[in-house]
């Protein structure tokens, strides 16, 4: 029962910022937040499908639930990259960073579909995504700390967006990187890492929701 609860947690946590998006976007979701909407919808749909496949041991052409995460990775990464681009100078995002993101997506797709088994969790590819996301986040923190725009940082929605991504991808990087070589070899460790990841994802979604609320009040 506890395992099922944690499985549902990661899927339904996406509803928290999604509800905030529609609640505070009375005139429709802004172009700036549209990629975030796509990211959250992708996460909700594919995480739910992954949980259903895993819980009922469903296979599709001999592929199990892990195949869904091979599909989720590039789609969610593209949505996040477009979100960063939409925020642009507000998070110190540049055109070279965008081009590097595209290169990372190509690298990740090749690694995920060619070098990682489709019926295994593509942890190495997720770790590569973490590296890029964390670089963008740390770059934002560095420029923000060295700017004069920190007095009301907690009122700035972009701080909450970046912090949500940073906390999740920083805390899960080691799990992703070591998953197939270490975590998956131990059933207890697999269960604990899955629960930990679900909690971190929930925290990320709460911070994204807070950023959405701050964005609405700032308009």
Query: Alpha-carbon distance 141 to 134, whole Å?
Result: 10
Per-residue pLDDT of the chain (219 residues; tens, 9 = 90+): 555 566 677 888 999 999 999 988 877 788 899 999 999 999 999 998 888 877 666 666 666 778 899 999 999 999 999 999 999 999 999 999 999 999 999 999 999 988 888 888 899 999 999 999 999 999 999 999 998 777 889 999 999 999 999 999 999 999 999 888 876 777 788 888 888 999 999 999 999 999 999 988 766
Phi, psi of 118 (to 5 degrees): -70, -20
Question: Cα-flanking dihedrals φ and ψ of residue 133, to 5°?
Answer: -60, -45
Count how many domains the chain has.
Answer: 1
Helix-strand-coil split of the chain, %, nearest 5: 80, 0, 20
Domain that includes residue 53, residue range: 2-218
Question: With contact defined as beta carbons under 8 Å apart, do 37 and 18 qualify?
Answer: yes
For the stretch 56-100, pLDDT in tens is: 666 666 667 788 999 999 999 999 999 999 999 999 999 999 999
Instruction: Cite the beta strand spans of the chain per DSSP E.
Output: none
Query: Whole-model pTM?
Result: 0.92
Q: Could you report the per-residue pLDDT of 23-41, keeping only the tens digit for each?
A: 888 777 888 999 999 999 9
Which structure tokens are listed for 189?
């460790």
100 exposure class (CB count in 10 Å sphere: 0-12, 13-18, 19+) = middle
């Amino acid at each position: 029962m506890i395992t099922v609860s944690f499985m549902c947690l990661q899927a339904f946590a996406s509803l928290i910022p999604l509800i905030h998006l529609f609640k505070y976007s009375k005139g429709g979701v802004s172009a700036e937040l549209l990629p975030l909407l796509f990211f959250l919808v992708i996460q909700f749909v594919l995480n739910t499908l992954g949980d259903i496949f895993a819980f009922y041991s469903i296979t599709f052409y001999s592929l199990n639930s892990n195949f869904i995460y091979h599909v989720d990775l590039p789609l969610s990464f593209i949505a996040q990259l477009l979100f960063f681009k939409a925020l642009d100078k507000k998070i110190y995002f540049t055109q070279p960073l965008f081009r590097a993101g595209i290169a990372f997506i190509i690298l990740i797709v090749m690694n995920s579909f060619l070098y990682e088994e489709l019926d295994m969790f593509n942890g190495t590819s997720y770790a590569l995504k973490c590296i890029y996301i964390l670089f963008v986040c740390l770059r934002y923190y560095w420029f923000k700390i060295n700017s004069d725009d920190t007095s009301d940082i907690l009122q700035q929605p972009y701080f909450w967006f970046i912090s949500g991504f940073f906390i999740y991808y920083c805390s899960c990087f080691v799990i992703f990187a070591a998953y197939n070589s270490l975590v998956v070899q131990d059933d207890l460790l697999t269960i604990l890492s899955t629960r930990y990841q679900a909690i971190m994802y929930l925290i990320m979604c709460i911070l994204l929701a807070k950023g959405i609320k701050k964005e609405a009040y700032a308009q």
